[in-house]
Structure 1
Amino acid sequence: MLQTKFHIVLNANSGGATRLGITAERLHGLFAERGIAVSVDADASRPFAERLQTARNSPAEALLSAGGDGTVTALAEVAIATGRSLAVLPLGTANLLARDLTIPTTLEAWFEALGEMAPRRIDVGEVNGQIFLHKVVIGAVPGIAAAREKLRGHDGFAARIAFLGHFVRRLSRLRRFAAEITPRSGEPRIERVQSIAVANNDYGEGLGQVFHRPRLDEGMLSLYLLRQLRLRDALRLATEMVLGSWRNDEVLEMESVRAVVVRTRRSLVRAMLDGEVVTLQGPLRFRTLPLALSVLAPPVAEAEPGLVEPEPEAG
């Protein structure tokens, strides 16, 4: 049984926490049943930066994110800075990192698997000194995501129709923009696009494997250029992603890089970073930080490709 002491940062407003009734008291009880000591920060009234500082100062051996992907990314930065492992109790909507690492996404299964979890080193991406675990997107997507954020907490048919209406209107008004793209090992070039995404490692294809990364340790970033995104393009891409055949779509261009600089005419660039809408100072300087983060995750099945520890270099 795992005996690591955890400091837990709980996002009590995440979808999973509210749906399952996850509180600090319940987390204390669940871990105590297994003989694991924890400290839990569930104080949503404090600024999140202060809560991260508390995590940084905690004497706990490992940090645990109990929330969505945004909480995971924020706490990962603390884990890297303090040389500790990060555990992920997925309580968000997408839970992308947990799914890539085959971390169970139900509470019962997660606690059943906890005793078998072990540290695994994975890559992280960095843009202008800020880390990301999944991807950074500029262009069309952040505006759509911002509208979705306004509807957060408003479930039901009316909210879905409102978002769909905004999505269609947004697509009809999209304009391409010029971006100068300079890979570390290449010459600058000008591209006209509607969106640019830079992902931490590459997204694979496969039936139902939407935004799934088979490897998190290749030490590469994937640059995706979306040339245009009309309504018919969006519908076709969505279908191809579900069917696992999207990589050769005519509106996409992909490139693997270790570092890249993206310049646009704007000095301030609105972006979606791991699901959160942020404003970044241009130009955007991306690089990969290979194996920078230690994450507690279940062992990799021998038959499963990817997500394996790299072999030590000879000599």
Structure 2
Amino acid sequence: MIKAYSSMPQSAKKLVAFLNTDSGTLRSLDIQMVEEKLESCFVSQGYQVEIHRNGGKQLIELMTKKAGDPELDILLAAGGDGTISAAASLAWRHGKTLAVVPAGTMNLYARSLDLPLDVEGAIEALAKGQERKVDIATANDHAFVHQLSIGLHPTTVIKRKNYSYQSRFGKMLAGIRAYLDTIRHMPCHALEMTIDGVAKSVRLSSLSVSNNLFEQTAPPRAEKPDGGVLGVYMAGNLSRKDALALAADTLIGKMQDNSNMLVSSGSSVQIKRLHKGKPAKSVLDGELWPVPDVIDIKIHPKALSVLAVPAQ
């Protein structure tokens, strides 16, 4: 579905909005009211506005087709972390400015950008926002804005599919049950980690590489979206007790204080699988992604333009 709004001259900046109607938050809202809010807020600030709404896969396909439009200035995405990540990748590759409306469960990148976490508040803030340059990362040329995870996280995401849920709370409860299932048969990956050229062989139950270092918050978010470094979070071959303690520390925003968590940083990270038998999965910005034998991760400082809330 397409709607276009404009009372501005043709020279006005053009914002194209993509609403993921499969996202839990948008399913619970009056989508017509969301569209009207977008139109009223952005047109009043001098934008031309075009709005598309569809389910996740179809929306990404449409977004991909539209992102190269030379008349498009602002690419606005409303959805969960996967939708936002796809939009960020397209905005970066096509030289557009990204606007993020949080409409998922965790809304991790919206938190890193200090955006209001309700849809209406985010729209109001973004309409008055200013363009800002922030970092984006790539894993073998796959762009991401939050993190890549191997071990406990992707295994939990896979096992969560065994449980049904209809709400955000239900999804979180399913995640807890899936985590308990996961640590009964603890994942452990033999890897060669190379950070800024320094290599080390490790055995890890949990690995995360983030687009900038995390703050001590729950859930973790980037301390500085333009910090110019990758965060590396490694937890060794954990016992069940260790894994429960790590989960508890993560829930209260103390993950980095956990005795089993080793934190490092760098501008480039290479992950090499030492045992290349059974295929492994990772989570890349909330979406499952196959783990290749070698992953080269790089930070691209201030390469992504975003709409940000004006500084107070």
The answer to whether the 8 A contact 2:235-2:262 is kept is yes
Aligned positions, number: 295
Change over 3 Å in CA distance of 1:234–1:128 after alignment to 2: same
Partner AA of 2:304 in structure 1: L
2:276 aligned with 1:297, yes or no? no
Change over 3 Å in CA distance of 1:152–1:18 after alignment to 2: farther
Change over 3 Å in CA distance of 1:232–1:45 after alignment to 2: closer
CA distance in 1 between counterparts of 2:59 and 2:303 reads 23
Partner AA of 1:97 in structure 2: Y
Q: Return the match for 1:6 from 15, 40, 65.
A: 15
Partner AA of 2:39 in structure 1: A
Change over 3 Å in CA distance of 1:300–1:32 after alignment to 2: closer
2:277 aligned with 1:270, yes or no? no
2:112 aligned with 1:100, yes or no? yes
Q: Which moved more, 1:112-121 or 1:63-72?
A: 112-121
The answer to whether the 8 A contact 1:31-1:37 is kept is no
- Which residue does the alignment assign to 1:308? none
Alignment of 1:65-214 (within 5 A): 65-149=77-161, 151=163, 153-155=165-167, 164-186=176-198, 188-205=199-216, 209-214=218-223
CA distance in 1 between counterparts of 2:170 and 2:37 reads 37
Change over 3 Å in CA distance of 1:48–1:241 after alignment to 2: same
Partner AA of 2:231 in structure 1: S
CA shift, 1:253, in A, is 0.9
CA distance in 2 between counterparts of 1:157 and 1:210 reads 15
Aligned-partner SS, 1:75: helix
2:60 aligned with 1:53, yes or no? no
2:252 aligned with 1:240, yes or no? no
Aligned-partner SS, 2:269: strand
Change over 3 Å in CA distance of 1:158–1:248 after alignment to 2: closer
Aligned-partner SS, 2:305: strand
The answer to whether the 8 A contact 2:156-2:182 is kept is yes
CA distance in 2 between counterparts of 1:29 and 1:212 reads 30
TM-score (norm 2): 0.85
Change over 3 Å in CA distance of 1:228–1:106 after alignment to 2: same
Q: Deviations over 1:162-194 (max 9, x none)?
A: 6544422320111422111122332x2210111
CA distance in 2 between counterparts of 1:234 and 1:45 reads 33
Gaps of 5+ in 2: 1-7
Partner AA of 2:245 in structure 1: R
- Which residue does the alignment assign to 2:5? none
The answer to whether the 8 A contact 1:228-1:251 is kept is no
CA shift, 1:18, in A, is 0.5
CA distance in 2 between counterparts of 1:90 and 1:278 reads 22
CA distance in 2 between counterparts of 1:158 and 1:26 reads 26
- Which residue does the alignment assign to 1:312? none
Change over 3 Å in CA distance of 1:173–1:296 after alignment to 2: same
- Which residue does the alignment assign to 2:3? none
RMSD: 2.6
CA distance in 2 between counterparts of 1:293 and 1:150 reads 37
Q: Deviations over 1:234-290 (max 9, x none)?
A: 332233335443323221111111111111123754110011111142201111111
